[in-house]
Amino acid sequence: MPPAALAYVGDAVYELYIRTYYLMPPKRLQAYHKQVVDQVRAEGQARHLRSLEPHLTAVELEVIKRGRNAATNRPKRVDPDVYQQATGLEALIGYLYLTDLHRLMHLLGQLEFDVPPGDSLEI
């Protein structure tokens, strides 16, 4: 499957995971939206990719590389390197969603999210 297609699927899977992650404790939709947007922006995805890299296999690193190389048409507000890293993460998530859901959930469980003081995030 082309890396751009993997990134397309991975983007949807990642956003759904993040949206689900922030559902508890219940809060206003605006609060959900802000928390989710902070994580699904390219900068947040690039940060998460960097945190996962030590835990990745050679095959997973190759998928990321192919995803980064497929990154085109980036938004003007985003640094090209950051956009490529984000697309690499999305490609990895799409690849794992289609090939190894257990591994995907393990890696997503490794991600650390910013939690405002007093909030607790449980899945």
Catalytic residues: 11
Q: Report H helices in the chain.
A: 3-21, 29-40, 42-52, 58-70, 80-99, 101-110
Question: Which of the 8 DSSP states describes residue 57?
Answer: -
Assess contact for 16 and 115: CB atoms under 8 A.
no
Q: Which two tokens stand for residue 100?
A: 């190894």
Distance of CA 64 to the CA centre of its chain: 12
